[in-house]
Amino acid sequence: MTFQRIVAIAIGILFLLKTGASALAESPVPKLPIPDKLVVLTFDDSVKSHYTVVRPLLRKYRFGATFFITEGFEFKTNKNHYMSWTEIARLHQDGFEIGNHTRDHLGLDATHPENLKKQLAAYPAQLKAINERCKEHGIPVPTSFAYPGNGIAAEALPLLKKLNIKFARRGGSPEYPYEKGRGVAYEPGKDHPLLLPTAGDARPDWELSDFIRAVKQAKNGRIAILQFHGAPDLAHSWVNTPVGKFEIYMKYLAENNYRVIALRDLEKYVDPKAVPADPFKIITERKKLIAQQQQQ
Ligand SMILES: [Zn+2]
Protein backbone atom coordinates (compact mmCIF):
# COMPACT_ATOMS: atom_id res chain seq x y z
CA MET A 1 0.00 0.00 0.00
CA THR A 2 1.35 3.38 -0.99
CA PHE A 3 1.80 6.19 1.46
CA GLN A 4 -0.83 8.24 -0.46
CA ARG A 5 -3.32 5.38 -0.17
CA ILE A 6 -2.79 5.14 3.61
CA VAL A 7 -3.31 8.91 3.91
CA ALA A 8 -6.49 8.68 1.79
CA ILE A 9 -7.91 5.88 3.99
CA ALA A 10 -6.97 7.80 7.15
CA ILE A 11 -8.76 10.92 5.83
CA GLY A 12 -11.79 8.76 4.95
CA ILE A 13 -11.94 7.30 8.48
CA LEU A 14 -11.59 10.76 10.03
CA PHE A 15 -14.40 12.06 7.77
CA LEU A 16 -16.68 9.19 8.81
CA LEU A 17 -15.92 9.74 12.49
CA LYS A 18 -16.58 13.45 12.19
CA THR A 19 -19.86 13.21 10.23
CA GLY A 20 -21.02 10.31 12.42
CA ALA A 21 -20.36 12.34 15.55
CA SER A 22 -22.10 15.45 14.26
CA ALA A 23 -25.08 13.41 13.08
CA LEU A 24 -25.37 12.09 16.64
CA ALA A 25 -25.10 15.55 18.14
CA GLU A 26 -27.87 16.88 15.90
CA SER A 27 -30.34 14.06 16.50
CA PRO A 28 -33.06 15.07 18.99
CA VAL A 29 -32.64 13.74 22.52
CA PRO A 30 -35.33 11.09 23.04
CA LYS A 31 -37.84 12.22 25.65
CA LEU A 32 -39.06 10.03 28.48
CA PRO A 33 -42.75 9.11 28.61
CA ILE A 34 -44.61 11.21 31.18
CA PRO A 35 -45.43 9.02 34.18
CA ASP A 36 -48.52 9.47 36.36
CA LYS A 37 -47.85 11.21 39.70
CA LEU A 38 -45.23 13.59 38.27
CA VAL A 39 -45.13 16.75 40.39
CA VAL A 40 -43.03 19.93 40.07
CA LEU A 41 -42.39 21.81 43.33
CA THR A 42 -41.80 25.56 43.17
CA PHE A 43 -41.13 28.09 45.95
CA ASP A 44 -41.36 31.84 45.37
CA ASP A 45 -39.88 35.01 46.86
CA SER A 46 -36.56 33.94 48.51
CA VAL A 47 -38.20 33.37 51.91
CA LYS A 48 -35.90 32.38 54.80
CA SER A 49 -38.04 29.36 55.70
CA HIS A 50 -37.15 27.89 52.29
CA TYR A 51 -33.72 27.37 53.77
CA THR A 52 -34.59 26.57 57.39
CA VAL A 53 -37.75 24.45 56.98
CA VAL A 54 -38.27 23.44 53.32
CA ARG A 55 -34.66 22.47 52.51
CA PRO A 56 -34.19 19.81 55.23
CA LEU A 57 -37.59 18.26 54.51
CA LEU A 58 -37.01 18.03 50.74
CA ARG A 59 -33.56 16.58 51.33
CA LYS A 60 -35.05 13.95 53.65
CA TYR A 61 -37.47 12.84 50.93
CA ARG A 62 -34.96 13.39 48.08
CA PHE A 63 -37.41 15.68 46.27
CA GLY A 64 -36.35 18.09 43.54
CA ALA A 65 -37.63 21.69 43.56
CA THR A 66 -37.18 25.13 42.02
CA PHE A 67 -36.65 28.22 44.19
CA PHE A 68 -37.67 31.41 42.38
CA ILE A 69 -35.41 34.18 43.59
CA THR A 70 -36.15 37.89 43.76
CA GLU A 71 -34.37 40.70 45.60
CA GLY A 72 -37.69 42.52 45.86
CA PHE A 73 -39.76 43.24 49.00
CA GLU A 74 -37.36 43.63 51.99
CA PHE A 75 -34.77 41.15 50.67
CA LYS A 76 -31.87 43.55 51.24
CA THR A 77 -32.83 44.78 54.72
CA ASN A 78 -34.78 42.02 56.48
CA LYS A 79 -32.50 39.01 56.69
CA ASN A 80 -34.73 37.42 59.34
CA HIS A 81 -37.34 36.85 56.67
CA TYR A 82 -35.31 36.55 53.44
CA MET A 83 -32.46 34.20 52.52
CA SER A 84 -28.91 35.40 51.99
CA TRP A 85 -27.20 34.70 48.64
CA THR A 86 -24.92 32.27 50.48
CA GLU A 87 -28.00 30.28 51.50
CA ILE A 88 -29.40 30.47 47.95
CA ALA A 89 -26.06 29.15 46.62
CA ARG A 90 -26.27 26.33 49.15
CA LEU A 91 -29.65 25.31 47.71
CA HIS A 92 -28.00 25.08 44.29
CA GLN A 93 -25.13 23.02 45.75
CA ASP A 94 -27.73 20.67 47.26
CA GLY A 95 -29.02 20.02 43.71
CA PHE A 96 -32.10 22.26 43.77
CA GLU A 97 -32.83 24.62 40.89
CA ILE A 98 -32.52 28.38 41.24
CA GLY A 99 -35.03 30.20 39.03
CA ASN A 100 -35.52 33.84 38.10
CA HIS A 101 -38.35 35.89 39.68
CA THR A 102 -37.00 39.34 38.62
CA ARG A 103 -34.81 41.63 40.73
CA ASP A 104 -37.65 43.80 42.10
CA HIS A 105 -40.55 41.33 41.92
CA LEU A 106 -41.81 43.32 38.94
CA GLY A 107 -45.21 41.98 37.92
CA LEU A 108 -46.77 42.38 34.47
CA ASP A 109 -50.05 44.28 34.30
CA ALA A 110 -51.68 43.36 30.99
CA THR A 111 -54.82 45.38 31.85
CA HIS A 112 -52.94 48.70 31.53
CA PRO A 113 -51.03 48.83 28.20
CA GLU A 114 -48.95 51.85 29.30
CA ASN A 115 -47.78 50.10 32.48
CA LEU A 116 -47.13 46.87 30.60
CA LYS A 117 -44.95 48.64 28.05
CA LYS A 118 -42.75 50.07 30.81
CA GLN A 119 -42.62 46.75 32.68
CA LEU A 120 -41.60 44.81 29.57
CA ALA A 121 -38.95 47.41 28.76
CA ALA A 122 -37.50 46.85 32.25
CA TYR A 123 -37.52 43.04 32.00
CA PRO A 124 -34.10 42.47 30.37
CA ALA A 125 -32.36 44.41 33.18
CA GLN A 126 -34.63 42.83 35.82
CA LEU A 127 -33.75 39.29 34.76
CA LYS A 128 -30.10 39.99 34.05
CA ALA A 129 -29.61 41.41 37.56
CA ILE A 130 -30.61 38.03 39.06
CA ASN A 131 -28.46 36.24 36.43
CA GLU A 132 -25.44 38.32 37.52
CA ARG A 133 -26.00 37.52 41.19
CA CYS A 134 -26.19 33.83 40.31
CA LYS A 135 -22.88 34.01 38.41
CA GLU A 136 -21.23 35.79 41.36
CA HIS A 137 -22.29 32.92 43.64
CA GLY A 138 -21.40 30.01 41.34
CA ILE A 139 -25.05 29.31 40.43
CA PRO A 140 -25.90 28.52 36.76
CA VAL A 141 -27.81 31.28 34.95
CA PRO A 142 -31.51 30.43 35.44
CA THR A 143 -33.50 28.98 32.53
CA SER A 144 -36.73 28.82 34.56
CA PHE A 145 -38.87 31.85 35.36
CA ALA A 146 -41.95 32.55 37.49
CA TYR A 147 -44.17 35.55 36.75
CA PRO A 148 -44.15 37.84 39.84
CA GLY A 149 -47.66 38.11 41.26
CA ASN A 150 -48.59 35.55 38.56
CA GLY A 151 -49.29 38.43 36.12
CA ILE A 152 -49.00 37.26 32.49
CA ALA A 153 -48.95 38.95 29.09
CA ALA A 154 -48.69 37.55 25.56
CA GLU A 155 -46.00 40.13 24.79
CA ALA A 156 -43.71 38.57 27.41
CA LEU A 157 -43.28 35.29 25.53
CA PRO A 158 -40.84 36.40 22.79
CA LEU A 159 -38.97 38.47 25.36
CA LEU A 160 -38.52 35.57 27.80
CA LYS A 161 -37.40 33.35 24.93
CA LYS A 162 -34.80 35.95 23.96
CA LEU A 163 -33.61 36.02 27.56
CA ASN A 164 -32.94 32.23 27.33
CA ILE A 165 -35.86 31.18 29.53
CA LYS A 166 -37.05 27.65 28.67
CA PHE A 167 -39.91 27.22 31.14
CA ALA A 168 -42.03 29.93 32.77
CA ARG A 169 -44.65 29.29 35.45
CA ARG A 170 -47.83 31.31 35.87
CA GLY A 171 -50.58 30.91 38.50
CA GLY A 172 -53.88 29.03 38.48
CA SER A 173 -55.52 32.12 36.96
CA PRO A 174 -57.07 32.86 34.44
CA GLU A 175 -58.79 29.45 34.56
CA TYR A 176 -59.58 29.84 38.28
CA PRO A 177 -59.74 33.00 40.42
CA TYR A 178 -56.56 33.79 42.39
CA GLU A 179 -58.03 33.77 45.90
CA LYS A 180 -58.42 30.06 46.67
CA GLY A 181 -55.25 28.92 44.94
CA ARG A 182 -56.96 26.41 42.66
CA GLY A 183 -55.44 25.55 39.31
CA VAL A 184 -55.00 23.07 36.49
CA ALA A 185 -52.31 20.59 35.54
CA TYR A 186 -49.86 21.26 32.72
CA GLU A 187 -50.80 19.58 29.46
CA PRO A 188 -47.64 19.20 27.34
CA GLY A 189 -48.26 20.15 23.73
CA LYS A 190 -51.27 22.30 24.65
CA ASP A 191 -49.77 24.64 27.25
CA HIS A 192 -47.00 26.94 26.03
CA PRO A 193 -43.74 26.16 27.94
CA LEU A 194 -43.57 29.87 28.84
CA LEU A 195 -47.13 29.87 30.27
CA LEU A 196 -47.12 26.77 32.47
CA PRO A 197 -50.14 26.69 34.78
CA THR A 198 -50.03 26.15 38.55
CA ALA A 199 -52.15 23.17 39.62
CA GLY A 200 -52.27 24.40 43.21
CA ASP A 201 -51.05 27.63 44.86
CA ALA A 202 -51.01 26.88 48.61
CA ARG A 203 -53.15 29.08 50.85
CA PRO A 204 -53.13 29.29 54.69
CA ASP A 205 -56.62 27.79 54.97
CA TRP A 206 -55.86 24.87 52.64
CA GLU A 207 -56.46 21.43 54.05
CA LEU A 208 -54.91 18.18 52.85
CA SER A 209 -57.97 17.71 50.58
CA ASP A 210 -57.07 20.93 48.66
CA PHE A 211 -53.52 19.68 48.22
CA ILE A 212 -54.73 16.28 47.04
CA ARG A 213 -57.12 17.90 44.54
CA ALA A 214 -54.11 19.67 43.00
CA VAL A 215 -51.72 16.70 42.82
CA LYS A 216 -54.34 14.12 41.75
CA GLN A 217 -54.42 15.92 38.40
CA ALA A 218 -50.97 14.46 37.64
CA LYS A 219 -52.11 11.59 35.41
CA ASN A 220 -52.79 10.73 31.76
CA GLY A 221 -49.80 12.73 30.49
CA ARG A 222 -50.53 15.76 32.70
CA ILE A 223 -48.05 17.19 35.20
CA ALA A 224 -49.03 18.98 38.43
CA ILE A 225 -46.92 22.08 39.09
CA LEU A 226 -47.30 23.31 42.67
CA GLN A 227 -46.63 26.81 43.96
CA PHE A 228 -45.60 27.63 47.50
CA HIS A 229 -44.34 30.75 49.23
CA GLY A 230 -42.88 30.56 52.71
CA ALA A 231 -43.55 27.68 55.12
CA PRO A 232 -44.13 29.74 57.12
CA ASP A 233 -44.41 33.10 55.33
CA LEU A 234 -44.74 35.74 58.02
CA ALA A 235 -44.40 38.75 55.68
CA HIS A 236 -47.12 37.63 53.23
CA SER A 237 -49.87 36.11 55.36
CA TRP A 238 -52.24 35.44 52.42
CA VAL A 239 -49.82 32.88 50.94
CA ASN A 240 -48.49 31.51 54.23
CA THR A 241 -48.26 27.72 54.59
CA PRO A 242 -48.06 26.69 58.26
CA VAL A 243 -45.13 24.31 58.89
CA GLY A 244 -47.35 21.48 60.16
CA LYS A 245 -49.44 21.56 56.97
CA PHE A 246 -46.38 21.68 54.75
CA GLU A 247 -44.99 18.60 56.50
CA ILE A 248 -48.29 16.75 55.92
CA TYR A 249 -48.28 17.67 52.19
CA MET A 250 -44.71 16.47 51.63
CA LYS A 251 -45.37 13.27 53.59
CA TYR A 252 -48.41 12.63 51.38
CA LEU A 253 -46.24 12.91 48.23
CA ALA A 254 -43.60 10.56 49.67
CA GLU A 255 -46.05 7.94 50.97
CA ASN A 256 -48.00 7.92 47.72
CA ASN A 257 -44.91 7.51 45.54
CA TYR A 258 -45.07 10.80 43.68
CA ARG A 259 -42.05 11.70 41.56
CA VAL A 260 -41.09 15.21 42.65
CA ILE A 261 -38.88 17.30 40.37
CA ALA A 262 -37.68 20.84 39.62
CA LEU A 263 -39.13 22.85 36.73
CA ARG A 264 -35.92 22.48 34.64
CA ASP A 265 -36.31 18.67 34.86
CA LEU A 266 -39.37 18.96 32.57
CA GLU A 267 -36.87 18.99 29.70
CA LYS A 268 -36.39 15.24 30.21
CA TYR A 269 -40.05 14.77 29.29
CA VAL A 270 -40.95 17.66 26.98
CA ASP A 271 -39.24 19.77 24.33
CA PRO A 272 -39.39 23.44 25.40
CA LYS A 273 -39.06 24.41 21.74
CA ALA A 274 -42.33 22.67 20.80
CA VAL A 275 -44.94 25.40 21.23
CA PRO A 276 -48.68 25.58 20.36
CA ALA A 277 -49.61 27.93 17.50
CA ASP A 278 -51.96 29.89 19.78
CA PRO A 279 -50.61 29.99 23.38
CA PHE A 280 -53.97 31.15 24.78
CA LYS A 281 -56.24 28.63 23.01
CA ILE A 282 -56.04 25.99 25.75
CA ILE A 283 -56.70 28.62 28.44
CA THR A 284 -59.89 29.80 26.68
CA GLU A 285 -61.05 26.20 26.19
CA ARG A 286 -60.50 25.35 29.86
CA LYS A 287 -62.33 28.48 31.04
CA LYS A 288 -65.37 27.48 28.96
CA LEU A 289 -65.25 23.92 30.31
CA ILE A 290 -64.94 25.08 33.93
CA ALA A 291 -67.86 27.55 33.47
CA GLN A 292 -70.00 24.71 32.06
CA GLN A 293 -69.09 22.40 34.97
CA GLN A 294 -69.94 25.11 37.51
CA GLN A 295 -73.39 25.62 35.94
CA GLN A 296 -74.22 21.92 36.27
ZN1 LIG B 1 -43.50 36.22 43.95
Query: Would residue 45 count as lying in a domain?
Result: yes
Mean pLDDT of 199-222: 98
Per the omega criterion (within 30 degrees of 0), is the bond before 174 cis? yes
How remote is the CA of residue 105 from the centroid of ligand 1, in Å?
6
Compute the C-alpha angle 238/292/197, nearest 5°: 45
Segment 29-36 mean pLDDT: 89
Residue 31 maps to a domain:
no
Residue 147 Cα to ligand 1 midpoint, Å, equals 7
Q: Does 100 reside within a domain?
A: yes
Mean pLDDT of 26-38: 82
In a domain, 27, yes or no: no
How far does the centroid of ligand 1 lie from the alpha carbon of residue 45, in Å? 5
Ligand 1 midpoint to CA 108 (Å): 12
* Ordered DSSP codes for 76-107: TT-TTTB--HHHHHHHHHTTPEEEE--TT---
How far apart are the C-alpha atoms of 69 and 85, rounded to whole Å?
10
Beta strands in 90-202 (DSSP E): 97-100, 144-146, 167-169, 200-201
pLDDT at 295: 86
> How many domains would you assign to the chain?
1
Ligand 1 centroid to 197 CA: how many Å? 15
Instruction: Give me the phi and psi of 84, to 5 degrees please.
Output: -90, 165
Q: Using DSSP, state whether 130 is helix, strand or coil.
A: helix
Distance 25 CA to ligand 1 centre (A): 38
What is the CB neighbour count within 10 angstroms for residue 32?
A: 10
Residue 18 within a domain: no
Contact between 224 and 217 under an 8 Å Cβ cutoff? The reply is yes
pLDDT value at 140 more than 60: yes
Rg of the chain (C-alpha set)? 22
87-119 pLDDT, tens digit each = 999 999 999 999 999 999 999 999 999 999 999
Domain of 91, CATH number, reads 3.20.20.370
Q: Is residue 2 part of a domain?
A: no
Compute, in angstroms, the gap from residue 69 CA to the centroid of ligand 1: 8
**How far apart, in whole angstroms, are the C-alpha atoms of residue 48 and residue 78?**
10
Q: Which amino acid is at 183?
A: G
For residue 44, the CA-to-ligand 1 centroid distance in Å is: 5
Residue 16 maps to a domain: no
- Whether 166 shows a pLDDT value over 80: the answer reads yes
**Is the pLDDT confidence value at 244 over 60?**
yes
Query: Which pLDDT does position 5 carry in this prediction?
Result: 61
What domain range is 236 assigned to?
A: 37-295
Q: Is residue 10 part of a domain?
A: no
Mean pLDDT in residue range 273-288: 96
Cα of 6 vs its chain's centroid, Å? 55
pTM above 0.95, yes or no: no
